[in-house]
Structure formats: structure tokens, C-alpha cells
């Protein structure tokens, strides 16, 4: 990967102020794009000039970059290794404790949203903790308040349940972050290799051993790219790799991975002209919904409600799917259902 030897604002997903993607635009299609400036954090009202000030080259020196690059493994890396048995004995209880300390620190230190993302995935998938999708969403939501750039896509994990309408969720995940400073390229490369080895590489190796939840969390990184400020991209967007990892995660019972595959297939396979492709898309959305992913229920509901492709319109079935999505913690869906009551 060629490092950017400049300071720049980086917008995760589609970019702040960009056109909101439709329900047919899959997350995998939205690789991170550089921009001159962007909001800090999700749905931020922070003035653009303040965001640009935080991304100014005077804020971080090469010595400070080296401190980030050479930092000892933190609670996130320790927690992932304990969860997946990577170099240490597998211990889910220890993993939860380590990640909880990082996600909700009691010593006044800064929250680590990446730890929150991992802990939420434990509860969303039932791997590492009792399966509790509403609790998972609450944990993801707690991560959204932090603007840190390496967060294992915590904002994207939270967004579908919290934004108004399934088609508008990407607008809350804009970020402004700083790329590697000119003259520090070797330090940045060393740091990025360390971060990747302690996090995403750990997830991918566990995926190879059959841990579906690890496949899912790794897929999210390649779908959107993971940026570690102020070093650069730990991994850049790679839709093909994200697709392969999601296929393994879906086969292993991770509902949201199935939904992501359905979104990707909707764009790729032209299902409105091919009934078999349309059936495959719906199969993936229904599977995601059945496995507890509320966004899968919503996508299926909207297709059934509208009589999409070769489907027959069925508002009763759609209403049941919306209610199921609400039961899985899709807050805005619940609000919409409540508003429609006579």
C-alpha cells in the first residue's frame, strides 16, 4: 500500500454532504474517499473550520506519530487475542473484561470505540457473550460518540438502527482524520503493520479457523477501509475480499453478513430483470432477518411492500417484517410504526 505523505481530511463511506445511497447501494460499493475536509465524528454539527483545524499539520509531530506507531498492544488487541485464542489461551470472559475496560473506561481515559465494536459483535453473534441484539446495538451506540478514526467501523455497525430510514444511514458516519505526515513514511508503515497484525490479521486468521464472527468483523474493515490516525489506512476498501469474508460469516450464521451479501447481489446481478437473481437477493435478506439482523428485515419488508422485481405486493407481510425489525432493536423502525398507529 502506498502511503499518503500529506495531511488530508478523509471521509469514510460516501463523504460528508455526498448523495445518500439508495437501499440498493451496498456498503461494499462505498470505499473510503479522500477529501479536503470533513466533519469529525458521526452526524456532527461541528463547524467545518474547526474540523479543518483539528486536521492541521501542526497538531502532530513525527515524534508523536512514532509514539502511536510503536505503542505496546492495548486492551483492544489483548481482548481480541483472548477472544480468538491467538497466542494465548482462549478465554471469552477475559476478553469481555478487557474490551469493556477499553469501551467504558473507569479511570478517565479515552473511550476506545473499536473495543465497543468488538464487544457489540460478541452480543450480536453470540460468539464471546450471550446473544443479545438489543444490547449489541446499545454498545455500538455508545461508540458513536467518539470521533476516533480506528474504530472497527463502530459507527457503521450502529447506524442502521439509529438513523431515519434504512437508506440514509451512511450520512451519520462522516469523519475527518489525518494521514501520514511527510517525512514520517517509514514510521507510519511500521505502525500500520503493527496495528494490522494485532487486529485485522488476528480476525482473518480466526476466520480461517472457522470463527464466523471474526469473518464478519474483518469483512466490515474491507468493506469500508480502516483508517488509523495519524498513520493512514490499516486496510483499504476491497469489496471482493469483503464479499468472501461475508460469505463465510453468513454460512456461519451471522445475519448481518447475509444482509450485506443481499445488498451486494442486488447491485451486481440485475435482479429486476432476472427472477432467479431476485429470488437469491430475497433469500439473503430473509436469512439475515431470520438470524436476527433488523436491517435484513427492513430490506425484505420494503421489497415485499413495493412488489419489487417479480414479487407480489404484500403489505401485511411487510408490516410483520417491520415489526420483527423493531423487535431486533431497530429504533427508528419502532418509531415509524408507533407514528402510524391511529
pLDDT, tens digit, for every residue of 4-33? Answer: 433 333 333 333 433 223 333 333 333 333
Mean pLDDT, residues 155-181:
72
2/96: higher pLDDT: 96
C-alpha dihedral sign at 323, 326, 330, 333: positive
323/8: higher pLDDT: 323
Residue 177 has pLDDT above 80, yes or no: no
> Within the chain, which residue ranges are assigned CATH 1.25.40.10?
253-340
Highest CATH level, class, for 253-340: mainly alpha
The whole-number pLDDT of residue 147 equals: 62
Of the pLDDT bands very low, low, confident and very high (cuts 50, 70, 90), residue 327 is: very high
Cell of residue 131, nine digits: 446473544
Lowest mean pLDDT among 78-82, 178-182, 277-281, 290-294: 178-182
The whole-number pLDDT of residue 167 equals: 53
Q: What is the overall mean pLDDT for the chain? A: 82
For the stretch 198-210, pLDDT in tens is: 999 999 999 999 9
For the stretch 46-92, pLDDT in tens is: 333 343 444 444 567 899 999 999 999 999 999 999 999 999 999 99
Helix orientation angle between 185-198 and 75-84, rounded to the nearest 10 degrees: 40
SS3 letters across the chain: CCCCCCCCEEECCCCCCCCCCCCCCCHHHCCCEEECCCCCCCCCCCCHHHHHHHCCHHHCCHHHHHHHHCCCCCHHHHHHHHHHCCCCCCCHHHHHHHHHHHHCCCCCCCCCHHHHHHHHHHHHHCCCCCCCHHHHHHHHHHHHCCCCCCCCCHHHHHHHHHCCCHHHHHHHCCCCCCCCCCCCHHHHHHHHHHHHHHCHHHHHHHHHCCCHHHHHHHHHHHHHCEEECCCEEEECCCHHHHHHHHHHHHHCCCHHHHHHHHHHHHHHCCCCCCHHHHHHHHHHHHHHHHCCCHHHHHHHHHHHHHCCCCCCCCHHHHHHHHHHHHHCCCHHHHHHHHHHCC
Amino acid at each position: 500500500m502506498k502511503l499518503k505523505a500529506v495531511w488530508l481530511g478523509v471521509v469514510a463511506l460516501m463523504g460528508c454532504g455526498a448523495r445518500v445511497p439508495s437501499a440498493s447501494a451496498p456498503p461494499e460499493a462505498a470505499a473510503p474517499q479522500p477529501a479536503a475536509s470533513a466533519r469529525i465524528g458521526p452526524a456532527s454539527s461541528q463547524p467545518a473550520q474547526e474540523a479543518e483545524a483539528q486536521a492541521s499539520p501542526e497538531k502532530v509531530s513525527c515524534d508523536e506519530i512514532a509514539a502511536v506507531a510503536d505503542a505496546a498492544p492495548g486492551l483492544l488487541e489483548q481482548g481480541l487475542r483472548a477472544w480468538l485464542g491467538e497466542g494465548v489461551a482462549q478465554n471469552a470472559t477475559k476478553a469481555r473484561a478487557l474490551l469493556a475496560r477499553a469501551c467504558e473506561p473507569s479511570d478517565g481515559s479515552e473511550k476506545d470505540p473499536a473495543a465497543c465494536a468488538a464487544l457489540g459483535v460478541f452480543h450480536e453473534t453470540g460468539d464471546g457473550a450471550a446473544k443479545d441484539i438489543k444490547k449489541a446495538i446499545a454498545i455500538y451506540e455508545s461508540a458513536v460518540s467518539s470521533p476516533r478514526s480506528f474504530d472497527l467501523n463502530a459507527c457503521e455497525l450502529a447506524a442502521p438502527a439509529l438513523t431515519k430510514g434504512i437508506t440514509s444511514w451512511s450520512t451519520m458516519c462522516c469523519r475527518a482524520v489525518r494521514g501520514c505526515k511527510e517525512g514520517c513514511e517509514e514510521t507510519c508503515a511500521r505502525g500500520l503493520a503493527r496495528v494490522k497484525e494485532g487486529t485485522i490479521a488476528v480476525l482473518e486468521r480466526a476466520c480461517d479457523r472457522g470463527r464466523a464472527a471474526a469473518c464478519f468483523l474483518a469483512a466490515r474493515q474491507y468493506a469500508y477501509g480502516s483508517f488509523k490516525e495519524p498513520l493512514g489506512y490499516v486496510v483499504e476498501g476491497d469489496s471482493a475480499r469483503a464479499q468472501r469474508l461475508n460469505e463465510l460469516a453468513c454460512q456461519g450464521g451471522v445475519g448481518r453478513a447475509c444482509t450485506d451479501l443481499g445488498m451486494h447481489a442486488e447491485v451486481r446481478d440485475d435482479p429486476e430483470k432476472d427472477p432467479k437473481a431476485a429470488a437469491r437477493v430475497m433469500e439473503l435478506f430473509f436469512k439475515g432477518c431470520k438470524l436476527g439482523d433488523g436491517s435484513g428485515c427492513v430490506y425484505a419488508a420494503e421489497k415485499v411492500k413495493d412488489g419489487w422485481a417479480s414479487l407480489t405486493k404484500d403489505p401485511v407481510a411487510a408490516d410483520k417484517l417491520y415489526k420483527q425489525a423493531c423487535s431486533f432493536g431497530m429504533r427508528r423502525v419502532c418509531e415509524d410504526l408507533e407514528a402510524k398507529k391511529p
